[in-house]
Amino acid sequence: MSIQVTVVDDHHLFRKGVIGIINAASDIEVVGEADNGRDAIALVQKLHPDVLIMDLAMPVMGGMEATKRIRDVDQKVKILILTVNEDERSLFEAVKSGAQGYVIKTVDPEELLHAIRSVAAGEAVVPSNLALRILSEMSKPKSTTPIGDGVEPLTAREIEVLRELGTGASNRDIAKRLFISENTVRNHVRNILDKLHVSNRVEAATYAVREGLVDENNPNDSDSSN
């Protein structure tokens, strides 16, 4: 089945261009469109798309507020922010609000399609130069109950995969680095989420950073001891 997408952007010409790019792909189709966050919420309630592509700065209701509200309406829809804003704080707030991905509008069409497929598959899509900083910020102590109580022990391979998640790596990247298949990576990620009692990759990556599994000075080093 194709990935069903809703596109939300107040710039009509840009929105139609994005829709054209998506509909040209054989495995993705646009099922709805809107020009503000309030209408986006209504569309999600009606259509329940797999992926919602949304701008941040829009009239009536912006993408950040809409993202927060959509999380209460539909927990399954994956939200991909598509914006001109490269500000680190905006990225951090978007992830905190519940977005699974953040893409700059200057990306190539194939990069956009890859981002859609990735978030639909449950992967987090974050610019690589900001991923570790975002995860480090998110891993700071909070007033809520921390992850870690009653977690099941991870296998050596699961720890390797979790360390890679902490760097913001995709399933494809992890498979290449660990010389395993993407399907095997997906199975490991599923087991990691179950054992850590977390709901998504971002929370697992946050746990990896907080537990010191990722070296902030050398985030791509996966060869350090367990």
- Tokens read off for 9: 């952007």
Enumerate the domain spans of the chain. Answer: 3-125, 140-210
> Are 3-125 and 140-210 the same fold in CATH?
no
C-beta of residue 195 within 8 angstroms of C-beta of residue 155: no
Res 225: pLDDT: 36
C-beta of residue 152 within 8 angstroms of C-beta of residue 162: no
CATH T-level assignment (fold) for domain 3-125 = Rossmann fold (3.40.50)
Task: Tell me the backbone φ, ψ of residue 150, rounded to 5 degrees.
Answer: 75, 20
The Cα 102–Cα 95 span in angstroms is 8
Architecture, CATH, for domain 140-210: Orthogonal Bundle (1.10)
* Neighbouring residues of 98: CB distance < 8 A, sequence distance ≥ 6: 67, 68, 70, 71, 79
Task: Please report which helix (H) or strand (E) contains residue 84, including its range.
Answer: none
Distances 58 to 39, 63, 126, 188 between C-alpha atoms, Å: 11, 7, 21, 39
CA atoms within a 13 Å half-sphere pointing along the CA-CB vector of 17:
12
Does the reported pTM lie above 0.85? no
Task: Tell me the backbone φ, ψ of residue 188, rounded to 5 degrees.
Answer: -65, -45
Res 213: pLDDT: 78
Distances 30 to 16, 19, 136, 197, 219 between C-alpha atoms, Å: 11, 6, 35, 33, 36
Q: pLDDT tens string for the chain (226 positions)? A: 899 999 999 999 999 999 999 999 999 999 999 999 999 999 999 999 999 999 999 999 999 999 989 988 888 899 999 988 777 677 777 877 888 888 989 899 999 999 999 999 888 887 666 665 666 565 555 433 344 456 688 888 999 999 888 887 888 889 999 999 999 999 999 999 888 888 788 778 878 877 777 765 544 544 433 3
